[in-house]
């Protein structure tokens, strides 16, 4: 089911048909976390996630996606707001919109990774890992520039 909300004149929506894939790909391929990500990987990640677009009139100005089972867990990823629109509370509006979705209240754990937006996320209840020693990861640096195949 598509959810939409308008806050401070900006539209927040889960409607996939509104997403501008080229715009999203262009931003992500230049980001610190998804440098050189191929467009087909962006498309596949969107196809397999709950996605959020932010719009000023009909122009997309931001994005986020949630990888979730809708029951116990969610990972918030690829969150961004276009530089030209920063400083207007749009990221806060996005977080309010995402966390207002009914299923989010029943999740046991919601996680994310950020380099520099800790202050934003703390306002919404995120905190440092309670037990970081329990978490493990596989990191494949430069996966998108080393002959990536889907």
Could you give the percent of the chain with pLDDT greater than 90?
Answer: 91
Rounded Cα distance between 51 and 63, Å, is 7
Q: 79-113 pLDDT, tens per residue?
A: 999 999 999 999 999 999 999 999 999 999 999 99
Kindly provide the b/e burial profile for residues 64-91, where b requires at least 16 CB atoms within 10 angstroms of the residue's own CB: bbbebeeeeebebbbbbbbeeeeeeebb
**Burial class of residue 28 in the structure, from the number of CB atoms within 10 Å of its CB (0-12 exposed, 13-18 middle, 19+ buried):** buried
Its CATH architecture, for the domain 4-134, is: 3-Layer(aba) Sandwich (3.40)
The whole-model pTM stands at: 0.92
Q: Out of 29-38, 64-73, 136-145, give the one with best mean pLDDT.
A: 64-73
What's residue 1's pLDDT?
Answer: 85
Q: How many CB atoms lie within 10 A of CB 44?
A: 12
Dist CA 69 CA 124 (whole Å): 21
> Residues 77, 65: contact at Cβ < 8 Å?
yes
What residue spans define the domains of the chain?
4-134
């Amino acid at each position: 089911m598509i959810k939409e909300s308008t806050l401070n004149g900006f539209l927040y929506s889960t409607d996939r048909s509104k997403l501008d894939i080229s715009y999203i790909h262009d931003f992500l391929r230049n980001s610190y976390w998804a440098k050189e990500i191929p467009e087909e990987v962006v498309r596949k990640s969107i196809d397999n996630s709950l996605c959020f677009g932010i719009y000023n009139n009909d122009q997309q100005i931001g994005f986020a996606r949630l990888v979730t089972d809708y029951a116990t867990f969610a990972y918030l990823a690829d969150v961004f707001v276009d530089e030209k629109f920063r400083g207007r509370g749009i990221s806060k509006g996005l977080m309010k919109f995402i966390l207002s979705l009914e299923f989010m209240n029943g999740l046991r754990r919601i996680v994310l990774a950020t380099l520099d937006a800790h202050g934003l996320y703390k306002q919404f209840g995120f905190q440092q890992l309670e037990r970081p020693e329990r978490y493990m990861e596989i990191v494949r640096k430069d996966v998108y520039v080393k002959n990536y195949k889907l």
